[in-house]
Chain A
């Protein structure tokens, strides 16, 4: 990574690819019991992004009951009784479950990685921002409301063409600059900067979405 980029807290798209490979290796080794990150190629097969999907979160929220039935007249239709035999057990999950998908995608215009995420419930129905915020641990909520650098926006996913939530990247280079300059000499000499970019980045960004980086990974920074 060029020192110029480094000093601005940004990185090139090639460097992002390098950082991502190193990150996957790192994470999947150190955190083998955690869900694994994978590298997904976009349909152009040129660019790619990091993906961590189907993270299961048992929510403490109440069952929303009729969430699945929007609109009036939903109860007016009488369904014919369908055969159910004695050998069928119908079970309802006792706890409300939310699923999260995280993608780390490189942003060309800001030249930094961006965290995209979405959440959905059992039925696949997407969760709203305020419902997501209820799932977040207290320190994340604080980070979101206090910091002027972190806020969640909803924009179209660059590859999936559907709205995903993301942490807006406009402040990223600012605080990445601080992180990297915290220990100038060490990084400049080892040249390991690129590989550690994502760990450093995620250690901050992860806080906001309640994703903790295991200590073993942080030790390298």
Chain B
């Protein structure tokens, strides 16, 4: 007949909630391991509730069996409600992507179709009709990349020849007004009763008086009376006006096999806002030609049902790295913390500058460990630590990156142990350790060592060059000389921290001597202080004595101040060229930065619980940062360094410091007039 066409069913659509993959990953990691036997799962669906969007068969966290050790070999159908009709399914998860693609989809589909076929013939499908919508899921969970490849199949027994469609229209157009009212009421009752709300297949009987009742399909016999209209109803997830949903396929198969009906009137039940919607619901009539052999249980019909993905025959893939990868979660939590600071307290915080800054830490001891941690807390990700020592038994107490394990077997190299430790605290840190000693002036090296020392010097030069800020965190005065010179040469931000027994110094070095064209006075470095403020040296001399006997509270305080000082420099419009400010002063000229004042030097005393800020200008006689010294380095390079290392007084002679010290008693302390009046004595 020309007007007849086959029934075209709209395929089921799947939706997997993130929670399902989370729970599955956990199950795999904690319980299943490499076991890839099939897992019974439960899917959930509900009748369509939106005129433009079909409902899906959904998997949630609850779809999986729990992680406890109960054996659940049967389909664990967890409790449903009116919005979640449970449907049994099975999950085949493979351990590699290759085996995922190699799964025999044809036979897997056939196996599940057989279960439905068996349930129809044994009558189980009449008792528990949800089994008609049994589904299959294959997957490969990549728990390293947190991506999940998957593919659903909704097995449907194929009628051959296919069912033909005699009629299909809106339910509101099929029923009379009276009937429609009664049908809606009966359906709503079915949907509201906790006993039947999640039963997706049912019968609708309408008697000649337009009274409708909804019954369980096992009560089919009781609906057999003339004058009654009998419709086979089912929860239809599909919203389309011209196509019934997928569950009807196996429903027709059931009806044909069990009740041998050739003509089936069906109701595609759909809702709107929780109530039966007969305008959206469809009523149709299908004609079935029972295929040869269908009465025979042994003869399994063909099945179709692999879900198409946007019209293509491919599996789907979802990436949940953002919400599952612990490293990513740690990163976003850290970023959140800093963003909160910016939102709530400091809108001018430059988080990009912090995260892109490369910091070089010379020394991985009490100061180095704390500075590294503080830098990470501020969002600095690139940290290089230089230290040639090994972790000693006493270290873990005061050097916050080390534990007892690092001390065993002679002790790990500090630089290496520190990097590992930083990675354990924050996996996204880009930390590097360099095991190297810093060459020191006035400590002559035997000639056979000279090449190594030169190598170290060059290495240090390169390290300073490739970083943005350098922290001098060693425990001797001499070890700070070469780094200071190198930093002055390249005009790098340099922060020095030095500890005494109960006092500390934290300061930022001024700009290098050739860093700008204007003549203004630059701030001093660590060595300038020796010259410019000799009377301050009582506090000074007890620093850097290479003694490990310092009050434990000092290092954390000094380290914290050192890092805060760096952050201050970063946010100051003049950066390394910023003038030194004093605390508690009314700096009429300078406008206060959001982070507060930016001092040059901070000297603190634990015995007084006090702290003071100082400003010191650079000295032209400085053995580390004066133009004399830096230009010697620029001209003669390593030769100059070796000379400084090997000859105890070379530097002092070069800068005229020796002369200066001789006339120290008659030296006028005049800040503004600090020209190089002295003769340079050439050697």
Contact residues of A with B, CB < 8 Å?
A: 33, 56, 58, 68-71, 74, 77, 79-95, 97, 120, 122-126, 128, 148, 151, 153-156, 160-163, 168, 170
Contacts and interface: CB of A to CB of B under 8 A. Distances in A.
Contact of A79 (B10, B315, B322): B315
A125 B50 CA distance: 21
Contacts of B340: 153, 168, 170
A71 to B, nearest CB: 7
Top 5 A-B pairs, shortest CB-CB distance: A124-B16, A70-B319, A82-B306, A90-B308, A89-B8
B18 A90 contact: no
23 contacts: A56-B53, A70-B147, A71-B147, A74-B317, A81-B313, A82-B313, A83-B304, A84-B308, A86-B6, A86-B8, A87-B6, A88-B8, A90-B308, A90-B311, A92-B310, A95-B53, A120-B18, A122-B56, A124-B17, A124-B318, A155-B336, A162-B19, A163-B332
Interface in B257-308: 273, 302, 304, 306, 308
Interface string B393-408: 0000000000000000
Interface residues of B, number: 57
Contacts of A162: 18-19, 22, 323
A167 B8 CA distance: 46
A79 B18 contact: no
Contacts of B144: none
Contacts of A128: 322
Interface string B12-25: 01011111101000
B553 to A, nearest CB: 29
Nearest to B9: A87
B661 to A, nearest CB: 58
Contacts of B105: 80, 82
Given A70-B317, A124-B318, A160-B19, A88 B240 contact: no
B344 interface: yes
A154 B332 contact: yes
Contacts of A79: 101, 313-315
Contacts of B421: none
B343 interface: yes
Nearest to A69: B317
B315 A126 contact: no
Interface string B312-337: 01111111101100000100110010
Contacts of B538: none
A88 B52 contact: no
A85 B304 contact: yes
B94 interface: no
Interface string B335-368: 0100110011000000000000000000000000
Contacts of A168: 340
B7 interface: yes
Nearest to A101: B17
Nearest to A121: B15
A54 to B, nearest CB: 8
Contacts of B344: 148, 170
A121 to B, nearest CB: 9
A152 B336 CA distance: 10
A71 B316 CA distance: 12
B15 A148 contact: no
B314 to A, nearest CB: 5
B134 interface: no
A189 B50 CA distance: 45
A12 to B, nearest CB: 25
Contacts of B315: 79
A156 B330 CA distance: 11
Given A56-B50, A124-B17, A160-B19, A85 B162 contact: yes
Interface in B186-243: 240, 243
A49 B162 CA distance: 50
Contacts of B42: none
Contacts of A87: 6-9, 158-159, 162-163, 249
Contacts of B329: 156, 163
B425 to A, nearest CB: 19
A155 B145 CA distance: 21
B613 interface: no
Nearest to A63: B310
| A56, A80, A90, A95 interface centre (most CB from chain B within 10 Å) | A90
Given A56-B50, A89-B10, A93-B53, 8 more contacts: A56-B53, A77-B101, A86-B8, A87-B9, A88-B9, A125-B319, A153-B336, A170-B344
Interface string B582-610: 00000000000000000000000000000
B646 interface: no
Nearest to A74: B317
Given A89-B10, A95-B52, A126 B15 contact: no
B314 A71 contact: no
B106 to A, nearest CB: 8
B133 interface: no
A71 B336 CA distance: 27
Nearest to B321: A70
Contacts of A70: 147, 317, 319
Contacts of A68: 309-310, 316-318
A120 to B, nearest CB: 7
A122 B15 contact: yes
Nearest to A97: B53
B620 interface: no
A92 B11 CA distance: 10
A168 B336 CA distance: 11
A86 B159 CA distance: 11
Nearest to B101: A77
Nearest to B242: A89
B304 A84 contact: yes
B54 interface: yes
Contacts of A120: 17-18
A109 B341 CA distance: 18
Contacts of A58: 52-53
A88 B11 contact: yes
B15 A123 contact: yes
A83 B306 CA distance: 8
Contacts of B54: 91, 93
A91 B10 contact: yes
Interface in B366-419: none
Given A77-B101, A87-B9, A148 B343 contact: yes
Contacts of A89: 8-11, 240, 243
Nearest to A82: B306
Given A56-B50, A85-B162, A89-B8, A126 B304 contact: no
A94 B13 CA distance: 14
Contacts of A124: 15-18, 20, 318
A58 B329 CA distance: 29
B114 to A, nearest CB: 16
A77 to B, nearest CB: 6
A80 B109 CA distance: 14
A81 B249 CA distance: 22
A49 to B, nearest CB: 16
Contacts of B339: 153
Contacts of A153: 336, 339-340
| B159, B162, B319 interface centre (most CB from chain A within 10 Å) | B319
A141 to B, nearest CB: 17
A151 B336 CA distance: 11
A90 B320 contact: no
A125 B105 CA distance: 25
A91 B239 CA distance: 11
A214 to B, nearest CB: 15
A48 B336 CA distance: 26
A162 B147 CA distance: 16
A88 B303 CA distance: 12
Contact of A126 (B7, B163, B302, B322): B322
A30 B336 CA distance: 38
Given A148-B343, A168-B340, A71 B50 contact: no
A170 B343 CA distance: 11
